[in-house]
Amino acid sequence: MARRYSFLRTWKRARLLVVPAVAVLVAVAGTAQVAQAASASDASPSADAPGACATPTFADGLAQNVFSADSTTWVRGEAWVQVPGVDSDRDGIPDRVHIDITRPAETANPSCGYKAPVIFEASPYFANLGPNANWSVDHEIGDPPATRPAQMPFMIRNTSPIISNDFNTAWLPRGFAVVHADSLGTGWSTGCATDGASNETLGVKAVIDWLNGRATAYTSVDGNTTVPDPDWTTGKVGMMGTSYNGTLPIAAATTGVEGLDAIVPISPVVSYYDYYRTNGMVRGPGGFQGEDSDVLADVVNTRRSAATGWQPDPSVCRPVIQDITANIDRASGDYTSFWNDRNLMNDVDKIHAAVLLAHGDNDNNVMTRQAAEFYDAIKQLGVPHEFYFHQGGHGGSPPDVMVNRWFTRYLYGVQNGVEKLPKSYVVREANACPPRQTPVVGDQSNTATLTVADSGQLTLGLTATIPITASNGTVTTTTRLISKIPDSRHIVLASAVATAAGQRVADGASVSLACGSANPTPYAEWPDPTAAPATLDFTAGAPAIGGLTFQPGSGTTETLTDNAMVTATTSMNAASSNVRLLYQTPALTQNVRLSGTPWLSLWMSFSKPKANLTGVLVDYPPTGSPTILSRGWLDPENRDSPATTEAITPGQYHRMHFDLQAKDAVILAGHRIGIMILSSDNEHTIRPAPGTQLTMDLARSTVQLPVVGGAAALAAAIGAGSPAAQVDAARVSVDRMGLPVTVANQLRLALIDASRKVGTPAACTALSDFQGQVFDLAGSPNATVTLDQAQRLMSVSQVGTQLGCSDPGGKTVYLPDETYLTATPAAAQVDLMEFAETIEGFGLDQGVTADLTNRAWTVAGLVTGRAPAACASLQTLLHTVARTQLTTQQRATLDARTPRLDAELSC
């Protein structure tokens, strides 16, 4: 996760802190000890003075800065919280978590009687990070090196008595206390870091338990003197942090611990498998190729030990890190019990803490799939939620106003209406920024209060851009935070503008909100509720550039040759290349917004038993460099499940259905949407020797994009023509398929009928009838339409989607074994047809084969007609399969596809 974090830390030893009412850490016989600053009895004389008590104050639903911002008045201390039942360093002694505490003076003044809510940040990074000793990735797939380089020694920061000052200046003046914790195995905590295993979760939970009087804390790392219960806090805790520091809040929340009432996870990991693997593939986070769980455990191994007089001692956790190395399995990349133990989604249903999630739309470190999966689960649980989705990379906090409003509501209990606000806040691209502006009324100078035509166009807490006119008439702009909106005609800025002689904010000048991290655009929810899948087919063009179309795809195959040394950037810029397959839409005639998860469904064969498979979504401008919007990866041997390896037979085709990273992006008019297919991804995957060939059957391959406005919006943008014109174009494709004359005439007449009925309610029935005929012709014992032809003709279903004939689906489904699916009728139909095709290839008794395949085609036909009997028919098919005599391998092959069919049909 975020390695930049170390640059925020000093390598100098922490000096003793001397402030009023704060117990000072001293070294006694090599053991860190501290007086009882963690209790409420440590009051400074000045804090007892009459009238010295601040109380929480709120305006516009936000906590105000009314407590002292002078750090010399704050009460500070440290403690070691014991973690019941956890001994991750295997020394026979329960682990302890080292914490520091900073709180307003009022919490130590009995005459104030003030108890503070707590902002809590836990991290394995506070004591510093070592250099990565990564695994080599330049080897054949499935044949990793036996060892990696040894971890080099590095300087370790002393985190006692002060672990960190993060959040102190922001939250102490608002009346909150701030607590930091060295995660287990780091800094002055005992135990061992395990890269997301349950000991780390329980360590954070123990701190929250202690803040609520349910756990025991000590004054030293190994002593027996306890710290009194923290009677200075309400016990209401909010956690916040970035990357690993954002993961631990979710980890704690999945325990359901009482007292954790709000979390603000920024760029968090919810599945460590998805951080170091994807869909069965060993995949590195961007910028950290070759990193794995054991590497990160080494990097944060800043443990101290009694054996060294509580000096840094990395040897304590060496056996634990060696166990991690033994279990990560860089050969298969499969989802195993090791990774299941590090999957927070297993316990997501225990979360009750309100979630304000933040993630970067272009985070190439912790991929956006992590945020999308977690946010989707939180929505389904009905937990209070918001999502801040910015255009940057790793990290990036929501604007302060959002966090303040969140903690004010859920930690202070102020009814500020945050539940009624939009749930999604996307930072829009500067070139696709919605107008949010209002003119100034009258010339105004040297003022923080501006009179405007309509303050409702602006937003409290966001940053306004204000034009300033100088005495000579030149105009420049400045920015100010909007600190208050008192009425419909005025805004109050954080400080005065137009303060120089002769400057003014001129009458009629527009005060606006420029799109950027400080000014997200609100939407009702994420993904956008109006987004729906639009499915495009591929047309041939290799080695140059093919097309993406709503029409039937090309009835041909195209081949690429892997070369892991060629980067994705090089491949997407090449006009012609044998290393990639590239397909583009026509230039867009209007903006297209994507909101959600793109999917690829590819019919592929491979020249070797092991290969990489990569998909890339690209934005191609009319001139200049294209931009990678999203990537996705799949190990072809894990085509049905990340938990199951299924051998690849060279030359044999298989369905490769996999997701790209979740995205929210506006692709501008004049640009083209591109899909690039690679084998190895130089920046993320294992890099085998060049030469593996991947062949794609275009007729049976599609891409599904989550388009706001659905297929109709994308069809309009790429000039696909009216629904009737699209049906007529499909009829022309039928003429070119080389079908038997009687079959071609039958399908041609069905499409003519459908085209004539477009614009009437009968169009949907006509389109459904056409698809039913295709299934009958392809699924009959003497099939007259091949599966390739049938799947090409399924493009007509997109016309039905545009007409609203059927629910396009598009919901992403997450199965327990880390399988990701998109639940759409089209995906179900393809998988049912290939389910039948697989059965035909088993060489079973002719009657048995006919029975099973007919049942599969029947289910596909019911899906087309939106018949509610589709699920019941599927269950009948599966029961019949269960009673059929099959080999172990045949049964395993069909069983692996059953969860996918259930999910795609939403059964």
Catalytic residue among 243, 571, 605, 733: 243
Helix (H), strand (E), coil (C) string for 25-77: CEEECCEEECCCCCCCCCCCHHHHCCCCCCCCCEECCEECCCCCCCHHHCEEE
Task: List the structure tokens of 322.
Answer: 């060696």
Say which residues have a Cβ less than 8 Å from residue 694's Cβ, sequence separation at least 6.
Answer: 559, 560, 562, 604, 605, 606, 607, 611, 613, 677, 679
* 390 is known as an active-site residue: no
Catalytic residue among 182, 195, 363, 788: 363
Task: List the structure tokens of 435.
Answer: 């107008």
Q: What's the rounded Cα separation, in Å, for the pair 22 and 690? A: 63
CA-nearest of 77, 283, 109 to 180 is 77
Catalytic residue among 359, 394, 657, 671: 394
Specify the pairing of strand 463-469 against strand 475-487.
Answer: antiparallel
What is the CB-side half-sphere exposure of residue 539 using CA atoms within 13 A? Answer: 11
Q: What's the rounded Cα separation, in Å, for the pair 266 and 740? A: 59
Q: What's the rounded Cα separation, in Å, for the pair 450 and 486? A: 11
Q: Which residues of 546-558 are buried (b: 16+ CB within 10 A; e: fewer)?
A: bbbbbbbbbbebb
Q: What's the rounded Cα separation, in Å, for the pair 135 and 53? A: 56
Q: What's the rounded Cα separation, in Å, for the pair 817 and 277? A: 13
Say which residues have a Cβ less than 8 Å from residue 168's Cβ, sequence separation at least 6.
Answer: 71, 74, 102, 178
Q: What's the rounded Cα separation, in Å, for the pair 509 and 496? A: 17
Q: What's the rounded Cα separation, in Å, for the pair 178 and 46? A: 21
- 825-840 and 888-904 helices cross at what angle (nearest 10)? 170
Say which residues have a Cβ less than 8 Å from residue 228's Cβ, sequence separation at least 6.
Answer: 36, 38, 39, 40, 41
CA-nearest of 677, 669, 573, 562 to 616 is 677
CA-nearest of 606, 527, 591 to 561 is 606
DSSP 700: G
| 226 DSSP β-pair partners | 218
| 654 DSSP β-pair partners | 604
Helix (H), strand (E), coil (C) string for 604-664: EEECCCCCCEEEEEEEECCCCCCEEEEEEEECHHHCCCCCCCCCCCCCCCEEEEEECCCEE
* 363 is known as an active-site residue: yes
Q: What's the rounded Cα separation, in Å, for the pair 841 and 893? A: 12
Task: List the structure tokens of 346.
Answer: 């297993």
- 723-735 and 741-757 helices cross at what angle (nearest 10)? 170
Task: List the structure tokens of 8.
Answer: 């925020």
CA-nearest of 604, 616, 610 to 577 is 616
284 dihedral zone (left: phi>0; alpha: psi -120 to 50; beta)? beta
DSSP 120: E
Q: What's the rounded Cα separation, in Å, for the pair 45 and 73? A: 11
Say which residues have a Cβ less than 8 Å from residue 4's Cβ, sequence separation at least 6.
Answer: 394, 395
Is residue 792 packed enough to be buried (19+ CB in 10 Å), middle (13-18) or exposed (0-12)? buried
* 394 is known as an active-site residue: yes
Task: List the structure tokens of 634.
Answer: 């799949």
Active-site residue set: 243, 363, 394
